[in-house]
A and B are shown apart, each in its own frame.
Chain A
Amino acid sequence: MSELKVTTMADYLAKGEVPEILFWVGCAGSFDDRAKKITKAIVKILNHANVKFAVLGTEESCTGDPAKRAGNEFLFQMQAMTNITVLNGYEIKRIVTGCPHCFNTLKNEYPSLGGNYEVVHHTQLIQELLNSGRIKIEGGSFKGKKITFHDPCYLGRANDVYEAPRQVMINLDAELTEMKRSRANGLCCGAGGAQMFKEAEKGDKEVNIERTEEALALNPDIIAVGCPFCNTMMTDGVKNFNKEQTVKVLDVAELIAQAKDL
């Protein structure tokens, strides 16, 4: 495994260089132990494809998504304006995010506050790199494995991105299988709308259990996800059914990085 090459925006500026794209790591990607692995997988892919990317590092701050979904518009806009000041200061044009929530917020909710960027989700960028030949994948380790993809709400329904993650996974030569509730009919993992940060309201079941059940009914080897929060929820769900030895929950970026043995 080669060393991760990660350069901050401040370093680029000091060198007088401009990166192709800013990688918005996100809070989960920066701090959550499981999500950090996804962050590293994305970096490995970017490094492998020789993408000249930057991160904000300590200058990055929460996009404000969980505050906004929870109803705290003040806090959201405070966060947004702070981030926009930083992003505009660096004259950022293009951003890739490792999280559909950051993706949605930066893409849709920052423009009217003065932050206008082209924002893509990491699965879209990986698809782009595959299409342009900057990375190539031959089946290999996932050949014949059964994979089902869980659509993140904020990538799918919220932004109508359904194909990018699937198109990327086609390259794995695996058996892609769909849950009954997929794409626009996909069922939430239960984490959205700031639920991640609170106990669920009283009910007779957890949402992630309902969703994991649906995925496990397909007997997959891998449940593929595209969101660090979905990852947590589905991983917990799989553990709940004591299936963690046989069923892996992996981000699309991790699948690609592993397929390339990065």
Chain B
Amino acid sequence: MISSIIFILLFSAGAVWVTINFLKIRRNILIGKEIDRKDNPAQRWKIMTLVALGQKKMFERPIPAILHLFLYSAFVITQIELIEIVCDGASGHHRMFRSSLGGFYTFLVSFIEVLSVLAFIGTIAFLSRRNLLKVPRLVKSELNGWPKLDANFILIGELTLITFIFMMNGADEVLFNNGWSHAEDARGSFGLAISSHLGPMLFGGMSESSLHIVERIGWWGHIVMVLGFLNYLPYSKHFHILLAFPNVYFSNLLAKGKFTNLESVTNEVKLMFDPSAVVPPPSAEPMRFGAKDVMDLSWKQLLDAYTCTECGRCTSSCPANITGKLLSPRKIMMDTRDRLTEVGKNMDANKGEFKDDGKSLLTDYIAPEELWACTSCNACVQECPVNIDPLSIIIDLRRFLVMEQSAAPTELNMMFTNIENNGAPWQFAQADRLKWKDE
């Protein structure tokens, strides 16, 4: 009875707190500019099924893909068992689905156990890749400090979670075999695929009361870890486990080479060509060409930032990064998220209104040198397993540098002048354009 109350209080607190944080992040994302990503729902569902649910792009690199698949499928399938844990916790029953599901229950929990073992192996491999093997993309400088810690927290948390599952199931197996289990309909065999072997091995000689304690530690530990994880997500790169799905759904469906045409510019150019052209009146908001800060980006670019799990596939395929330049597409996404978090906190402190803090994404987080190293080759966009588009942010920031600050590198300014004067990026006269024919 008391444990049910504690459980309900704990669960409710966890659910309320995470909801508050989710709503804050939603608000932060929606400070971004409007962009239409709701067209073509059929194609969007398809791409979400293939890329997010089906992990299609992960399999470009098979080894991490398989390890990741272990964790991913264990995570997805475990949610079924979580339903029972929540029902048990709230009602004070023990394994309440077992009697009605019978053999299927054993199959289901056994399946989860097998996946959990695979996930355990996968997690150990991931920890080793980060901390022992030091896979280059997982030890780049932008991961120093919190990001590295964050990654290790998550992995160690996963190991702990799985350990709790096996404490719970293992001890329960032994209890069951001795006729001490509190499970509903405690007849027949428990017989979980892993715990029926692991349980007796680890907890075989224990007394009934010790076994009940181990089982309860496992049970409570599991649910506390789950609630903890859920509440950790909004502060962590691990948010991708939820945001990957909407982020892929709202993917850019057009050719990757197609950059946006700024409508504000189109209106001005039309007026230059024809002063009597009918264009929409300029909005009351001060107009800014390109992006200086996160509020100048689109909500999709901001969703991208929260979705990024810092895997670094983008950076490891970036020609600029490969050749030692300052640019790292992953850092562009991390910076965007960090700045957005900062802006969000600013809004929290100022009754929902952003008060100018004298900082901006451009220069305070991302240096022009990073932006000018980009070849716009789209390798980062191609690589991202959850369809994040760092390139569009790089271009929007470049636009601000060039159109608002005239801060392009000198050679590029010369190229602009040549195009303006000669219709070519070099100093050749337009009148000579057909000379090649007679040479």
Contact = CB atoms under 8 A, between A and B. Distances in A.
Interface stretch (B34-42, B221-229, B371-379): B371-379
A210 B269 contact: no
Nearest to B318: A188
B434 A30 contact: yes
A121 B375 CA distance: 21
A192 B376 contact: yes
A160 B324 CA distance: 28
Interface string A2-46: 001010100000000000000001010111100010011000000
A204 B424 contact: no
Given A74-B403, A109-B258, A187-B322, 16 more contacts: A6-B437, A8-B434, A27-B428, A30-B432, A31-B432, A61-B430, A62-B424, A71-B402, A104-B257, A108-B255, A197-B414, A203-B320, A204-B324, A207-B375, A210-B319, A210-B322
Nearest to B326: A201
A61 B319 contact: no
9 contacts: A27-B423, A30-B433, A30-B434, A70-B402, A74-B268, A74-B269, A79-B423, A154-B257, A198-B409
B23 interface: no
A158 B257 contact: yes
A216 interface: no
B94 to A, nearest CB: 52
B412 A201 contact: no
A126 to B, nearest CB: 19
Interface stretch (A52-60, A131-139, A242-250, A254-262): A52-60
A211 to B, nearest CB: 8
B289 interface: yes
Contacts of B439: 36
B192 interface: no
Classify chain B: how many residues form its interface, as a range.
Answer: 35 or more
Contacts of B259: 68-69, 109
Contact of A199 (B255, B266, B400, B411): B411
B433 A58 contact: yes
A73 B289 contact: yes
B411 A198 contact: yes
A153 B377 CA distance: 5
Nearest to A187: B319
B273 interface: yes
A77 B255 contact: no
B253 interface: no
B379 A157 contact: yes
B426 interface: yes
B153 to A, nearest CB: 32
B304 to A, nearest CB: 18
B436 A66 contact: no
Given A66-B415, A70-B408, A185-B317, A75 B325 contact: no
A190 B433 CA distance: 26
Nearest to B254: A108
Interface string A192-220: 11111111111111110111000000000
Interface string A85-120: 000000000000000000010011100110000000
Contact of A61 (B373, B414, B424): B424
Given A8-B434, A201-B326, A73 B262 contact: yes
A40 to B, nearest CB: 7
* Shortest 4 CB-CB contacts between residues of A and residues of B: A158-B257, A193-B376, A71-B398, A61-B423
Contact of B325 (A108, A184, A198, A203): A203
Interface in B380-439: 381-382, 395, 398-403, 408-409, 411-412, 414-416, 419-420, 423-426, 428, 430-437, 439
A202 B321 CA distance: 11
Given A6-B437, A210-B319, A70 B424 contact: no
A195 B371 CA distance: 11
Classify chain A: how many residues form its interface, as a range.
Answer: 35 or more
Contacts of A29: 436
Interface-centre pick from B262, B382, B426, B433 (highest chain A CB count, 10 A): B433
Interface string A169-185: 00000000000000011
B290 interface: yes
A113 B398 CA distance: 21
A49 interface: no
Contacts of A129: none
Nearest to B439: A36
Contacts of B287: none
A237 interface: no
Contacts of B408: 70-72
A81 B432 CA distance: 22
Interface string B245-283: 000000000111111011001101110110000000000
Contacts of A204: 323-324
B420 A75 contact: yes
Interface string B351-385: 00000000000000000010011111111011000
B375 A153 contact: yes
Nearest to B402: A71
A193 B101 CA distance: 60
A69 B431 CA distance: 26
Interface-centre pick from B272, B424, B426, B437 (highest chain A CB count, 10 A): B437
A201 B318 CA distance: 14
A147 to B, nearest CB: 22
Given A70-B402, A71-B399, A195 B434 contact: no
B399 A201 contact: no
B327 interface: yes
A78 B262 CA distance: 12
Nearest to B273: A81
B377 A202 contact: no
Contacts of A112: 261
Contacts of B379: 153, 157, 185-188
B289 A57 contact: no
